């Protein structure tokens, strides 16, 4: 029996929460329909003007949906879609100022409706793992304009996506803490993508809607010839990102966008560590070439942020 599958991939400035996590808040729609949409992705907005933890930040993001016409026949397209690199299409789901709740609706007949965390889930970075002073999530921060968009999705087979950066395993990078502490789970290679797989005995249709309404953003119908297919929800930076170069290292300074979401064990009144004094602990890699290790020209067309998650 042939099995068809769709990978729904989340990447970017998102706080991913799964049903059953004690420290994980629920978005309003998930609270109303916990059996239908138990999981929430919180989209953190980079606005180009804020200074999280004292770092001048120029990143500006929007929420896009990426798919391949080789894998899907789209219908009910009510968003602007443009050609991306290769065979992919990029559709803008939310601009910088949008406040909306988006629901991801796979066919009701899919097989993988029970949650299963694969071992590869460990490949995603956790904010409380990178900086152990993280104490608790500040739920009051999970609101517009800092977190203007929430994405709700059903349970499925949960795993991490490909390791980052690089197109294959041979190109991936080991990541360290910028304070030189290699205890615990770091250094190791990491993924910047969380993947939820839905499977069925027939091609899977995926509908993206404004929650609680009849407003469809886009409907993707899997082609019969595409046994596997993927849809990427990506908080896309409008301009190429550059890591902070510290000696022979690349530091991912834009990880600081997550720090205001937490209460911290710091001398700054529980607020995020001071970046200007390098008190903040960031993910770091050892520079291997002139282009560095946290960014590669080949990835310029697919700019991404790291998605820290609440630790399960």
Give pTM, 2 decimals. 0.91
Average of per-residue pLDDT across 26-37: 90
Domain-wise residue ranges, the chain: 4-131+142-166+192-242
For residue 221, the model assigns a pLDDT of 96
Q: Is the pLDDT of residue 91 over 80?
A: yes
pLDDT at 107: 86
Whole-number mean pLDDT of the chain?
85
Q: How far is CA 213 from CA 27, 78, 227, in A?
A: 16, 14, 31
pLDDT beyond 60 at 299: no
Q: pLDDT-derived band of residue 76, with 50, 70 and 90 as boundaries?
A: very high
> Is residue 205 classed as helix, strand or coil in its secondary structure?
strand
Using a 10 angstrom Cβ sphere, with 0-12 exposed, 13-18 middle and 19 or more buried, the burial of residue 270 is: middle
Least confident range of 83-87, 203-207, 212-216: 83-87
Give the DSSP H/E element, type plus range, for residue 75.
strand 72-75
The tens digit of pLDDT for each residue in 127-174 reads 888 888 888 888 888 888 889 999 999 988 888 888 876 555 566 788
């Amino acid at each position: 029996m042939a099995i068809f599958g769709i990978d729904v991939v989340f990447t970017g400035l998102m706080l991913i929460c799964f049903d059953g996590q004690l420290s994980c808040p629920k978005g309003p729609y998930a609270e109303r329909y916990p059996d239908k949409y138990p999981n929430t992705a919180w989209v953190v907005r980079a606005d180009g003007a804020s200074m999280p933890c004292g770092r001048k930040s120029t990143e500006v993001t929007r929420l896009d949906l990426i798919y391949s016409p080789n894998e899907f026949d789209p219908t009910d397209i009510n968003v602007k879609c443009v050609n991306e690199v290769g065979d992919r299409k990029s559709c803008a789901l939310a601009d910088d100022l949008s406040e909306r709740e988006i629901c991801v609706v796979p066919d009701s007949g899919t097989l993988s409706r029970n949650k299963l965390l694969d071992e590869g889930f460990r490949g995603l970075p956790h904010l409380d793992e990178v900086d152990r002073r993280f104490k608790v999530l500040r739920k009051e921060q999970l609101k517009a304009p800092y977190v203007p968009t929430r994405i709700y999705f059903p349970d499925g087979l949960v795993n991490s996506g490909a390791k980052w950066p690089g197109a294959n395993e041979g190109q991936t990078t080991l990541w360290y803490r910028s304070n030189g502490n290699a205890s615990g789970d770091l250094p190791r290679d990491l993924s910047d993508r969380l993947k939820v797989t839905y499977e069925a005995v027939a091609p899977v249709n995926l509908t993206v809607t404004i929650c609680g309404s009849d407003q469809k953003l886009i409907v993707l119908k899997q082609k019969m010839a595409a046994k596997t297919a993927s849809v990427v929800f990506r908080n896309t930076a409008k301009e190429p990102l550059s890591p902070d170069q510290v000696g022979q290292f690349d530091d991912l300074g834009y990880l600081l966008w997550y720090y205001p979401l937490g209460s911290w064990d710091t001398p700054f009144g529980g607020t995020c560590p001071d970046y200007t004094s390098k008190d903040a602990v960031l993910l770091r890699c050892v520079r291997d070439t002139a282009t560095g290790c946290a960014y590669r020209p080949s990835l310029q067309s697919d700019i991404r942020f790291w998605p820290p998650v609440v630790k399960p």
